[in-house]
């Protein structure tokens, strides 16, 4: 009798410890996307901790870094497009200044500033990359037909996953004003030399004070300098395509501009 009771007690202990291990495992492997897996109410803000180490993240649209998610929150800094930050593994749902419910991730900037950033402008658990040529992207790694195309010099976040010969990426979709996930088979790079070229390319294009002729000249110089560096051949070709487009625009403008009529004095002297 005593032996059977002892065996029964051991069985109960084994079942309890097994349930505890199973519960712990379910927390560790909880999905990080979509709705929060579990939330704790704290002043009207739901919270979830991602049980993983710190991870890299990329800013794909300029975003404010907030000191908290309270109504009186203050902006600590602004993270710019292409900036690398560190994701600290925590996401909270809060209310924006416009009253919308948004998700915020706890991040740290390179200077040590730590705060909350809107996840819709971030590529979490991703490294910085660039699209090197016009390329198809897919909604899922198993999707047969592409969802659209990405243009050269598009900044992306390169994700951790690679399936079915396709790489997980993130890019900012202007029409939806949010970062979205996609999958590509080729046409991207994370090399510093390609990222430096991309940064200079955007600085030239976004300088509104540059006359068209000077913009063309600066891009031409950039293309010539890239020949001396191990820049991606696809990126160099894409830069040449842009130069050809600008040259065509300048030629069309020159044709549309009427030639100045000769002055009477010039006409008389020629006679």
Write out the chain's pLDDT in tens, 271 residues.
444 443 444 333 333 344 443 333 332 223 333 323 333 333 334 445 545 589 999 999 999 999 988 777 899 999 999 999 999 999 998 878 777 889 999 999 999 999 999 999 999 999 999 999 999 999 999 999 999 999 999 999 999 999 999 999 999 999 999 999 999 999 999 999 999 999 999 999 999 999 999 999 999 999 999 988 999 999 999 999 999 999 999 998 888 776 666 666 555 555 5
- Report the C-alpha gap between 165 and 186 in whole angstroms: 9
Do 54 and 111 lie in one domain? The reply is yes
Torsion angle in degrees (nearest 10) through CA of 77, 104, 167, 232: -10
Do 180 and 151 lie in one domain? The reply is yes
Torsion angle in degrees (nearest 10) through CA of 100, 103, 106, 109: -70
Do 110 and 141 lie in one domain? The reply is no
Task: Identify whether 37 is part of a domain.
Answer: no
Task: Say what the pLDDT of residue 173 is.
Answer: 97
Do 146 and 180 lie in one domain? The reply is yes
Total domains in the chain come to 3
State pTM to two decimals.
Answer: 0.74
Task: Identify whether 202 is part of a domain.
Answer: yes
Do 182 and 201 lie in one domain? The reply is no
Task: Identify whether 19 is part of a domain.
Answer: no
Q: What CATH number should be reported for the domain holding residue 159?
A: 2.30.30
Do 244 and 181 lie in one domain? The reply is no
Task: Say what the pLDDT of residue 168 is.
Answer: 98
Task: Identify whether 54 is part of a domain.
Answer: yes
Do 196 and 143 lie in one domain? The reply is no
Task: Identify whether 50 is part of a domain.
Answer: yes
Do 216 and 154 lie in one domain? The reply is no
> Domain end: 143, 158, 189, which one?
189
Task: Say what the pLDDT of residue 42 is.
Answer: 34
Q: What CATH number should be reported for the domain holding residue 103?
A: 2.30.30.40
> Domain end: 189, 218, 237, which one?
189
Task: Identify whether 76 is part of a domain.
Answer: yes
Do 185 and 205 lie in one domain? The reply is no
> Domain end: 75, 92, 124, which one?
124
Do 178 and 201 lie in one domain? The reply is no
Range of 216's domain?
192-255
Do 137 and 164 lie in one domain? The reply is yes
Task: Identify whether 18 is part of a domain.
Answer: no
Task: Identify whether 136 is part of a domain.
Answer: yes
Do 198 and 185 lie in one domain? The reply is no
């Amino acid at each position: 009798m005593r032996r059977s009771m002892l065996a029964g007690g051991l069985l109960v202990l084994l079942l309890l410890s097994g349930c505890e291990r199973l519960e712990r495992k379910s927390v560790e492997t909880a999905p990080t996307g979509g709705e929060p897996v579990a939330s704790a109410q704290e002043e009207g803000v739901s919270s979830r901790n991602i049980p993983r180490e710190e991870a890299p993240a990329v800013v794909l649209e300029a975003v404010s870094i907030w000191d908290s998610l309270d109504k009186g929150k203050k902006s600590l800094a602004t993270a710019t497009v292409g900036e690398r930050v560190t994701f600290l593994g925590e996401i909270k749902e809060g209310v924006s200044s416009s009253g919308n419910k948004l998700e915020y991730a706890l991040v740290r900037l390179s200077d040590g500033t730590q705060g909350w950033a809107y996840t819709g402008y971030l590529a979490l658990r991703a490294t910085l990359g660039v699209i090197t040529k016009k390329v198809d992207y897919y909604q899922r790694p198993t999707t047969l037909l592409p969802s659209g195309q990405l243009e050269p010099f598009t900044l992306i976040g390169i994700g951790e996953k690679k399936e079915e010969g396709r790489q997980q990426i993130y890019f900012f979709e202007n029409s939806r004003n949010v970062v979205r996930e996609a999958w590509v088979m080729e046409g991207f790079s994370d090399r510093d030399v390609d990222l430096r070229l991309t940064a200079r390319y955007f600085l030239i294009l976004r300088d509104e004070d540059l006359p068209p002729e000077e913009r063309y000249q600066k891009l031409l110089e950039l293309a010539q300098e890239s020949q001396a560096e191990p820049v991606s051949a696809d990126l160099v070709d894409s830069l040449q395509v842009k130069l050809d487009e600008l040259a065509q625009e300048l030629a069309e403008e020159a044709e549309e501009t009427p030639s100045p009529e000769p002055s009477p004095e010039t006409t008389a002297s020629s006679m």
